[in-house]
Structure 1
Amino acid sequence: MTRLISLLLNLAFVFKSSHAACADDWPTCRNGFANIACEVGGTCEGKGDCEIMEHDVEFRRFALEEHNKWRNYLALGKETRGGNGEAADMRALSYDVKLEFTARCNLVFCKMEHDKCHATSKFKSAGQNLYSQTGGSAAGTHKSVSLWYEECNDTTAEQIDHFKRSTHVHIGHFTQLVWSKVTHVGCSRSTTGKSWYVACNYGPSGNWKDDPVYKRGPACSACPHGTKCNAKYPGLCGEIDESDLKAIPLHGHRLGTSFLASLFLPALLAFLLM
């Protein structure tokens, strides 16, 4: 009995220490939920027949440019569908490998399910868009951002000025994509060989109820202090930091709950069967 109590106490201590250590890198969200990076744990590798597609510079750059292309298109007033118009304060997006890593952790099971917490040390609140397709090839994942953008067909001017989720159509992917105050994005992909998945996380989060998706007005006329019109994307405010585009992908370094359980629970079971 003494040995059993000792084993259980050691297990509880390791679990607690691991969660505390993980939270130093991947904070718990304001809603009280643990970070997806801590829940999945380890290096966030694919589970079962789900394989994480490694992040190459080409896909990172494509994802970043797709986001900025559509944000710029809207900000310049070229989008007239769904009550949209020019955006005065639309930020240019930079790439972020920590947002990429939490997106990776979402995809380890190849399921189209939002996780409850994907914050980073820089972004205590982060947004998330998901995409999946059945059949085809990896090339199909390149359609994800443009398909999110197409939800602009279903927005209204009132929703743009005072965001509220629609009860009958999806608009949240579009509004997160063009939420003016977002400054960074990170994306990841996974596949089962038959289905393909994309997750993009955004910092800071958008889609806040009753807030405007963007401020209406001539492009770049209300850029945040210290920023100006971007040279490549004249409708966007601020410079683009490309340093993370070539950064080594994060693979985690904390032991997650599921990994620790795989180590200790068999030992506990063996003890009980003695």
Structure 2
Amino acid sequence: MNPSTRKAFLLTHNRLRSRLARGNEPNGNFGMAPTAANMLKMKYDCNAEASAMAAARTCSQRLSPPETRPGYKENFITIHKTYLNLPQTARHASERWWRQLSQYGANRQMRFTQAMRTEKTRIIRNWGKMAWHNNARLGCAIARCSGFSYVVCHYAPGGNYIGENFYTIGAPCGMCPNRCDQTTMLCESP
């Protein structure tokens, strides 16, 4: 990975999280997603990247075994647009995962449910890991495989816990543990 690709992943994730925190993201058939009071601003984590790279290099097109990535939840996607450079691939993958919210919606309470965990067609789990309020660490990797790019991102502490909210609904930055970045309306990570 190179600095411009890392930056593309991080800026795209935080830009999308900022839009969500401000209430500017469509939530499927539920209208606009409510504002987030406790959405953390992500930081790039090279340990998470190393873990993601180990998964990406397999070109397996499936989740890596949890025991190979302790402490991380994982998103993966196959991108067949091999003409994209690495930063473009990073943005494209992130935006594809994020699109799950507008396509399928979560619910008005923004709560992760058992049905969301087991759903096979209307999947929003990838979006959920990107949007989980306290996922403060992000590391991603792109492997060039035979005819496609395999993109993997690892998130910590994780997210998508049944019965828990993706985030607390409320005024942006209303429940920040530290400071609020007034530009993004994301909470600074502790």
Q: How many residues align?
A: 179
From 163, 178, 182, the counterpart of 2:135: 182
Root mean square deviation, CA, Å = 1.9
Correspondence list, 1:132-211, <5 A = 132-139=78-85, 141=89, 142-153=91-102, 154-157=104-107, 160-164=110-114, 165=116, 166-192=119-145, 194-211=147-164
From 212, 226, 229, the counterpart of 2:180: 229
Aligned to 2:59: 110
Answering whether residue 184 of structure 2 is matched by residue 238 of structure 1, we say no
Higher alpha-carbon Rg: 1
Greater share of strand: 2
Structure-2-length-normalised TM-score: 0.86
What residue identity is the alignment partner of 1:110? Answer: C
Deviating above 3 A after TM superposition, structure 1's stretches of 4 or more consecutive aligned residues are none
* Equivalent residues of 1:89, 1:223 under 8 A apart: yes
Aligned to 1:77: 23
From 53, 72, 97, the counterpart of 2:46: 97
Structure-1-length-normalised TM-score: 0.61
Deviation at 1:181, TM superposition (A): 1.1
**Runs of at least 5 residues in structure 1 that lack an aligned partner in the other structure:** 1-54, 241-274
Greater share of helix: 1
3-state SS in 2 of match to 1:160: coil
Same amino acid, percent of matched pairs: 23
Deviation at 1:79, TM superposition (A): 1.4
CA distance in 2, matches of 1:202, 1:146: 16
Bigger relative contact order (CA 8 A; separation at least 6): 2
From 7, 15, 37, the counterpart of 1:88: 37
* Equivalent residues of 2:106, 2:124 under 8 A apart: no
**Runs of at least 5 residues in structure 2 that lack an aligned partner in the other structure:** none
Query: 1:74/1:160 Cα in 2 relative to 1: closer, same or farther (>3 Å)?
Result: same
Deviation at 1:136, TM superposition (A): 3.1
